[in-house]
Amino acid sequence: MRYGYFDDGAREYVITRPDTPLPWINYLGNQGFFSLISNTCGGYAFYRDAKLRRITRFRYNNVPHDDGGRCFYICDGDVTWSPAFLPAKTPLDTYRCRHGLGYTVFEGEKQGVKAELTVMVPMGAACELQKLTLTNISDEKKQLTVYGAVEWCLWNAVDDSTNFQRNWNIGEVEIEGSTVYHKTEYRERRDHYAFYSVNAPVAGFDTDRDTFLGRFRGWSDPQAVEQRISYNSKASGWAPIAALRLDVSLAPGESRSFLYRLGYVETPREEKFSAPGVIHKTRAHALLSAYDTVEQYDKALNELKAYWTGLLGRFTVKSSEEKLDRMVNIWNQYQCMVTFNMSRSASYYESGMGRGMGFRDSCQDLLGFVHLIPERARERIIDIASIQFPDGSTYHQYQPLDKRGNADVGSGFNDDPLWLVACTTAYIRETGDFTILDELTPFNNEKGTEAPLLEHLRRSVNYTVTHRGPHGLPLIGRADWNDCLNLNCFSNTPGESFQTCSNFESGKAESVFIAGMFVKYGKEYAELVDRLGLRDEAKTVLAAVEEVETAARTAGWDGEWFRRAYDAFERPIGSKENDEGQIFIEPQGFCVLAGIGGREYGVKALASAQKHLGNDYGLEVLHPCYTAYRDYLGEISSYPPGYKENGSVFCHNNPWVTLAYCTLGDGNGAFDLYTRNAPAYIEDKSDIHRTEPYCYSQTIAGRDAQNYGEAKNSWLTGTAAWSFVAVSQGILGIRPDYDGLRVHPCLPDSMDGFTASRIFRGVRYGITVRRGEKKGLVVDGKPAVGDLVPLSAGPVCTVTVTI
């Protein structure tokens, strides 16, 4: 069953009823100011950091799930309704929500009034704009009372939801005409404030939430709205809001637009006040006058649309597979931007208060983003490398505002360092910019420790070389990619972190997955330094790679598949010797794509993965699921069977297997797996899948779960980047390389070819792939060698591949 449809021409997903199984959200903003917005206009806004600069309030775990956000009420006679259905909950005559790229439109109609509400964050400005257009489609005059309201968060989202003894005393606002300024803590150490404003004279306002809502009421039925009045309340402590009331009269056929602006402003410390205690508002006024008219708004929306047209135009495909095209051309790339911006910080499932930016997460997100805006990827690589320690290990996370490593979680996730190699080589292959390697980058953000980025990569590689266990495999540390396989701590205390409790440091537990990573990225590093003329270093690294490869082929091989790990007592994990958790997906994907054991092991490993892990939605993490908690395995066994790391389809690692199929030249295998969980392909199952059909979710419950097929944790997952890599570089086979673009498709029998357009190092490559007798590559009319399209002088280059 579906709840809407894709409109590819407009690059929108159109939701046709408000009662989607879960809130279906969109992200607004590309840099700086960000908003989340659901299909009923819920969500929240923040500036740069979802924990430390939260602008509007959101209650996770609330009932109903999606209450609050942007609250619009249209009062028409006795009826009160909201254009996006919530919060008023009045059934609408018509409802549509169109999620587009960086904007969302709601179209609601009720008893002769049509409302169109378009919400966006304009390029380069720290504000969210909401354009509300009301049209009288009846043949009578309409006298409407219209409210627009937001609830302020007192900036630090953690403090806001915990420290009430203080917070219920500190809320402060200023009111100036049709603008409410939120200035809590501005009197003391904050140099920033927010505002909510409408571009028309208000008939009244409220800034104290409980006055506006009234006792025993919520956002669905505020007392002020019921009475069609405002109390002109001035918040002092408690919960400050901004609720703006307009009186609107509309003749039959008449249409009027109002522009609401939710803005964020930083002031230099010496210019904070215009009079004692009064905000200096020049910057707010400038923002308001930049977006004061419908023309200015429409221009900003057009700019945003043009921006996305430009970005997505960097990689487009046209094939016989409409759904593949839709994912590649629109939604997968869009999600790559969102994950690049957010890492795992802020969604409807990630509270934005905890994890900040993940080291491994951000490195991997970059793989799907680097072709879009390489300059931002470059900056990010330096930020990430700056939280590395001198010994090559890294902090696991950092907070985007201060970019400092998060000491609560610390380091010890032994896959982390190698992801830095992965993203840096991807960046250089995309851009040809070797100068990034010279960039002086500190360790642990400490002044005076700066070393060229290349030195960071070197230490990453050396970290694995020098941290190997009894079988010669890399030591796993607290965990590798699978955060929940915790082999070096034995937690039996409720509530303790499985990852950071340190009560048992075996120094022995090993990871076959990291072995796969090391073979792949160790080779990539060796190739890189070889290109820099550091031949001896390349040789030394390759020798270590060979040792690890051998260890993975012997101690890491179980006969029919790759083992997962060795535990603290040197016992294999992910082996037929185990009673549960006999086979895991991660090493099948990574060891095969790294080429360990060649074709023979590869074919066997993937066949075993299909046989034991395969379900309708992809490959599960492991099989059989753990049925009871085992302290020597950690969090993985804490989940009921079929959920999360204990046997769901953890979508992130499925594309590794897709790529592994491509390594083996198995196009049918690759495509089959790709389509099992690519959102557009499972849109028809939206009632089972439940999360948005236009973006990937982290997990899909496995066969052992009660709700088999139900997805959770949509949006912020490494699945976005890896799926894009798998489909664009694996299946379509368009791969950036140091000396040019490689085109090496791995298509299923059902596809005869495709055309693609790819901007690479400033040149537009027009690529045609087709089946035919005379195999090979033709570049600008001339036959070329192998699969390499040499760098072209541009501006366009025509490539034909016959397969």
Q: Which residues are catalytic?
A: 483
Nearer to ligand BGC, 49 or 480 (CB): 480
Nearer to ligand BGC, 76 or 645 (CB): 645
The one among 54, 114, 192, 360 contacting ligand NOJ by CB under 6 A: 360
Radius of gyration of the chain (CA): 27
The DSSP 8-state label assigned to residue 500 in this structure reads: T
Q: Which amino acid is present at 152?
A: W
483 binds ligand NOJ, rule: CB under 6 A = yes
Identify the residue whose tokens are 């090493």. 587
Instruction: Give which of ligand NOJ, ligand BGC, none residue 360 binds (C-beta under 5 to 8 Å, depending on kind).
Output: ligand NOJ
620 binds ligand BGC, rule: CB under 6 A = no
482 binds ligand NOJ, rule: CB under 6 A = yes
Identify residues 497-516 at the interface with ligand NOJ (CB under 6 A).
none
128 binds ligand BGC, rule: CB under 6 A = no
Instruction: Give which of ligand NOJ, ligand BGC, none residue 361 binds (C-beta under 5 to 8 Å, depending on kind).
Output: ligand NOJ
Q: How far is the CB of 482 from ligand NOJ (least distance, A)?
A: 5
The Cα-based distances of 688 to 24, 138, 160 in angstroms read: 14, 40, 35
Q: How far is the CB of 483 from ligand BGC (least distance, A)?
A: 3
In degrees, rounded to 5, the angle at the alpha carbon of residue 700 between the alpha carbons of residues 696 and 702 is 160
Identify residues 348-367 at the interface with ligand BGC (CB under 6 A).
355
The Cα-based distances of 661 to 89, 135, 665, 672 in angstroms read: 49, 55, 6, 10
- Contact pattern for ligand BGC over residues 437 through 476, marking x by CB under 6 A: ----------------------------------------
Using CB atoms, what's the residue nearest to ligand NOJ?
483
Nearer to ligand NOJ, 413 or 561 (CB): 413
Instruction: Give which of ligand NOJ, ligand BGC, none residue 733 binds (C-beta under 5 to 8 Å, depending on kind).
Output: none
Give the Cα separation of 107 and 118 in Å (integer).
Answer: 9
Q: How far is the CB of 800 from ligand BGC (least distance, A)?
A: 44
Of 143-151, 212-220, 312-320, 478-486, the window that binds ligand NOJ (rule: CB under 6 A) is 478-486
The tokens for 370 are 């680097």
Using CB atoms, what's the residue nearest to ligand BGC?
483
The one among 53, 99, 272, 344 contacting ligand NOJ by CB under 6 A: 344
Nearer to ligand BGC, 586 or 645 (CB): 645
* CA-based nearest residue to 399, from 331, 345, 438: 345
Tell me the number of residues near ligand BGC by CB under 6 A.
6
Give the Cα separation of 678 and 491 in Å (integer).
Answer: 36
212-237 per-residue burial string, b: 16 or more CB within 10 A, e: under 16: bbbeeeebbbbbbbeebebbebbbee
Q: How far is the CB of 343 from ligand BGC (least distance, A)?
A: 11
Cis peptide bond upstream of 470, omega within 30: no
3-state SS, residue 69: coil
Q: How far is the CB of 578 from ligand NOJ (least distance, A)?
A: 20
Cis peptide bond upstream of 64, omega within 30: yes
361 binds ligand NOJ, rule: CB under 6 A = yes
484 binds ligand NOJ, rule: CB under 6 A = yes
Nearer to ligand BGC, 66 or 645 (CB): 645
Are 706 and 725 spatial neighbours (Cβ–Cβ below 8 Å)? no
358 binds ligand NOJ, rule: CB under 6 A = yes
Nearer to ligand NOJ, 321 or 361 (CB): 361
Identify the residue whose tokens are 């959101």. 58
- Contact pattern for ligand NOJ over residues 591 through 630, marking x by CB under 6 A: ----------------------------------------
Cis peptide bond upstream of 87, omega within 30: yes
Q: How far is the CB of 669 from ligand NOJ (least distance, A)?
A: 23
Tell me the number of residues near ligand NOJ by CB under 6 A.
9
Are 767 and 755 spatial neighbours (Cβ–Cβ below 8 Å)? yes
Nearer to ligand BGC, 151 or 635 (CB): 635
Instruction: Give which of ligand NOJ, ligand BGC, none residue 98 binds (C-beta under 5 to 8 Å, depending on kind).
Output: none
The tokens for 680 are 């557009």
* CA-based nearest residue to 196, from 36, 348, 72: 72
Nearer to ligand BGC, 279 or 487 (CB): 487
564 binds ligand NOJ, rule: CB under 6 A = no
Q: How far is the CB of 355 from ligand BGC (least distance, A)?
A: 6
Nearer to ligand BGC, 11 or 644 (CB): 644
396 binds ligand BGC, rule: CB under 6 A = no
The one among 12, 174, 483, 586 contacting ligand BGC by CB under 6 A: 483
Give the Cα separation of 717 and 489 in Å (integer).
Answer: 26
Q: How far is the CB of 755 from ligand BGC (least distance, A)?
A: 38
Give the Cα separation of 423 and 669 in Å (integer).
Answer: 26
The one among 645, 683, 692, 710 contacting ligand NOJ by CB under 6 A: 645
Instruction: Give which of ligand BGC, ligand NOJ, none residue 760 binds (C-beta under 5 to 8 Å, depending on kind).
Output: none
Q: How far is the CB of 481 from ligand NOJ (least distance, A)?
A: 4
107 binds ligand BGC, rule: CB under 6 A = no
635 binds ligand NOJ, rule: CB under 6 A = no
Give the Cα separation of 476 and 473 in Å (integer).
Answer: 9
Nearer to ligand NOJ, 321 or 586 (CB): 586
- Contact pattern for ligand BGC over residues 642 through 681, marking x by CB under 6 A: --xx------------------------------------
* CA-based nearest residue to 635, from 489, 511, 475, 474: 489
- Contact pattern for ligand NOJ over residues 288 through 327, marking x by CB under 6 A: ----------------------------------------
Identify residues 621-640 at the interface with ligand BGC (CB under 6 A).
635
Give the Cα separation of 330 and 332 in Å (integer).
Answer: 6
Q: Provide the pairing of β-strand 763-770 with 776-779.
A: unpaired
Are 85 and 94 spatial neighbours (Cβ–Cβ below 8 Å)? no
Give the Cα separation of 767 and 801 in Å (integer).
Answer: 8
408-447 per-residue burial string, b: 16 or more CB within 10 A, e: under 16: ebbbbbbbbbbbbbbbbbbbbbbbbeeebbebebbbebee
Are 739 and 788 spatial neighbours (Cβ–Cβ below 8 Å)? yes
Are 415 and 430 spatial neighbours (Cβ–Cβ below 8 Å)? no
Nearer to ligand NOJ, 106 or 722 (CB): 722
**Neighbouring residues of 237: CB distance < 8 A, sequence distance ≥ 6:** 168, 169, 170, 171
484 binds ligand BGC, rule: CB under 6 A = yes
Q: How far is the CB of 361 from ligand NOJ (least distance, A)?
A: 5
Nearer to ligand BGC, 128 or 645 (CB): 645
Of 264-272, 289-297, 322-330, 479-487, the window that binds ligand NOJ (rule: CB under 6 A) is 479-487
703-740 per-residue burial string, b: 16 or more CB within 10 A, e: under 16: bbbeebbbbbbbbbbbbbbbbbbbbbbbbbbbbbeeeb
**Neighbouring residues of 531: CB distance < 8 A, sequence distance ≥ 6:** 738
Note the residues at the interface with ligand BGC (CB under 6 A): 355, 483-484, 635, 644-645
Which residues here bind ligand NOJ, judged by CB under 6 A? 344, 358, 360-361, 481-484, 645
